[in-house]
Amino acid sequence: MPVEYVAEYKLDGLSIALRYEPADGGARLTTGITRGDGQTGEDVTSNIRTIRSVPLTISAEALSKAGLPQAFEVRGEVIMPETAFLRLNEEKEQQGLALAVNPRNAAAGTLRTLEPSIVANRRLEFYAYFLLIEIEGKSEYWPQGQRATLDALAVLGFRVNPNHKLVASVEQMTRFIDEADAARSTLGYEIDGVVLKVDAHATQQRLGYTGRAPRWAIAYKFTARSGITQVNAITVQVGRTGKLTPVAELTPVFIGGTTVSRATLHNADFIERLGLKLGDWVRVERGGDVIPKVVEVLEDADHPRGKQPFVFPLDCPECNSAVVRAEGEVDFRCVNADCPAKLRESLLHFASRGVMNIEGLGEAVVQQLLDRGLVASVADLYSLTEEQLTGLDRFAEKSARSLIEEIDRSKTAGLARVLMGLGIRFVGERTAELLSEEFGSIEALRAANAEELERVEEVGPRISQAILEFFAQPANLALIRALQDAGVVMTAEKKQRSAQLAGLTFVLTGTLPTLTRDEAKARIEAAGGKTAATVSKKTSYVVAGEEAGSKLDNARKLNIAVLDEAGLLALLEAAPDTN
């Protein structure tokens, strides 16, 4: 039976989940939460209530017509229409304030503001696209298709983007994508691509999720928008790891709804490959429609070449210390531990949304804290007082109290977030979570050797070496002690594993009769085994279901044992079930 898909516009906004609970025979909005990091979001209920396209109550009649229970969750996107975005920037310009970068950032910033009246005035809109129902206290997929979900949401009174279509072939998908790309400049709101979703929710459940995204949906991103402008200067920024990044200072150019005046040049080798000189005319793209980058140097009658070459600095532009370039690396780095730029970027990284999520600790606040000597490390954030904060520009008692509460709340973010916040090279979100589950505490992680570290999924020699080097530095150990003394939680629930399948590596392919891939993977890992994405000589077993593809062929070529689901369950018979 052919698989059908629903093609939808990919709205460029802020993802929101809305919770509805029984009230007077119908349903009432009780909670609105941002997506956050996918596990923890921000409660923005009071602001969500001001958005006119969000129903505050839903009648029993509408629920009956849609076939829904009284308790359910709706997910969708909050966007700022272009007219509202332009009006917002006009107001900011009149007030002498910095302009909003793009509608998505403006929508996100608006929804997180402390004043619901401001949110109401900004004219945000909410588009719904997903539905979960509650049965006996547990959230479940609504047992209809994705297209039926959109129809039901419209019946309930939600705004549903009309630009969606059921497709069943690559040709139909391609046609929809081309039509969306052609229409994007006329919509009145930002889209950055098209999302293709499997229509049948039963199939969605069988496909399940990876660590970050559903397997039953894929996003097609539009080609980045570009513009032509001139390079007036090249400055060099210093990041939290000491990396020096050259940045092109441009004559402002309008690209896809945003005025671009700066663009990354990546590193010295990139500038050399482009042959870039000051005064050159360049093509600039917004990568992912967000990050501006120089992609090409132009040379013709209308765009003459510049004359002055750029010489990469040999001293740090922030602290004047000599910079180094390790053998085999493309980046220059400042290795001065006291470089103020490294501290500024470390503070911003530590407070960012995907790490410790300290709302309100942005660039302006961090710079003031540094200028006044109030912080010398991320641990010093936890000793700040309301009195110190009220001395900062534009900080009243309410905003100072709010920031102190945010900092205090971050103490319980957990070990994985702390590991990300410490800035260990190569340790991102996924690796931090795996290390947290494996070791359960910062002390256990610190005591691990290279062999123990490399037993962790996705940790190889490069990552293990970076972790060992981090814990070998006395300054880093002092920072960890200071954070512990401040009450920052550095423990996690250690994932319990048996040793039944220790030393065995499994590759999953195809669709199993009863287990989703996530469930099979969890069962294998709970029994001490590992899972891998590709078949190699190190693979112990390939677990194959219906429609197994090239992985099964590769297993046969390499004479690797193949199991069906029954064979896997036989191996797992005594293993703990994580579900």
334 neighbors 242 (Cβ within 8 angstroms) = yes
Q: What percent of the chain has pLDDT over 70?
A: 93
CATH superfamily of this structure's domain 226-324 = Nucleic acid-binding proteins (2.40.50.140)
DSSP 506: E
Q: Report residue 239's pLDDT band, with 50, 70 and 90 as the boundaries.
A: confident
In the predicted structure, residue 417 carries a pLDDT above the cut 90:
yes
Q: Which of 86-100, 285-299, 340-354 has the lowest mean pLDDT?
A: 86-100
CATH superfamily of this structure's domain 5-221 = DNA ligase/mRNA capping enzyme (3.30.470.30)
User: In this predicted model, what pLDDT tens digit does every residue of 112-158 receive, in sequence order?
Assistant: 776 777 788 888 999 999 988 887 666 677 777 899 999 999 999 99
Q: Report CA-CA distances (Å) from 496 to 338, 358, 417, 518, 526.
A: 41, 31, 20, 17, 7
User: In this predicted model, what pLDDT tens digit does every residue of 535-571 receive, in sequence order?
Assistant: 888 899 999 998 888 889 889 999 999 999 999 988 8
In the predicted structure, residue 485 carries a pLDDT above the cut 90:
yes
**Cα distance between residue 302 and residue 304, in whole Å:** 6
Residue 263 backbone dihedrals phi, psi, to 5 degrees: -150, 145
Domain boundaries, the chain: 5-221, 226-324, 340-412, 415-485, 505-571
Q: Answer whether 340-412 and 415-485 agree in fold.
A: yes
Which active-site residues does the annotation give? 10
Question: Is the sign of the CA dihedral 348, 349, 350, 352 positive or negative?
Answer: positive
Please tell me which residue, 573 or 485, carries the higher pLDDT value.
485
3-state secondary structure of 458: coil
Q: DSSP readout, 377-431?
A: SGGGGGG--HHHHTTSTT--HHHHHHHHHHHHHGGGS-HHHHHHHTT-TT--HHH
In the predicted structure, residue 576 carries a pLDDT above the cut 50:
no
In the predicted structure, residue 73 carries a pLDDT above the cut 80:
yes
Least Cα distance to 338 among 359, 309, 318, 363 occurs for: 318
Q: Report CA-CA distances (Å) from 249 to 177, 219, 253, 364.
A: 34, 32, 11, 21
Please tell me which residue, 574 or 176, carries the higher pLDDT value.
176
CATH superfamily of this structure's domain 340-412 = 5' to 3' exonuclease, C-terminal subdomain (1.10.150.20)
Which residues, 6 or more positions from 553, have their beta carbon under 8 angstroms from its beta carbon? none
Right CATH number for 415-485 from 3.40.50.2300, 1.10.150.20, 3.90.76.10, 2.40.400.10?
Answer: 1.10.150.20
Please state the separation of Cα 459 from the chain's center in Å: 21
DSSP 302: T
Q: Extract the tokens encoding 454.
A: 């490399």
Q: Which of 188-202, 229-243, 289-303, 396-410 has the lowest mean pLDDT?
A: 289-303
Mean pLDDT of 322-349: 84
Which residues, 6 or more positions from 217, have their beta carbon under 8 angstroms from its beta carbon? 195, 196, 197, 198
Mean pLDDT of 451-472: 87
pLDDT the model gives residue 40:
64
**Cα distance between residue 126 and residue 432, in whole Å:** 33
Q: Report CA-CA distances (Å) from 491 to 67, 358, 411, 437, 488.
A: 44, 19, 11, 10, 9
416 neighbors 404 (Cβ within 8 angstroms) = no
Angle (deg, nearest 10), helices 103-111 and 82-94: 80
154 neighbors 164 (Cβ within 8 angstroms) = no
9 neighbors 196 (Cβ within 8 angstroms) = no
| CATH architecture of residue range(s) 505-571 | 3-Layer(aba) Sandwich (3.40)
Q: Extract the tokens encoding 175.
A: 């046609």
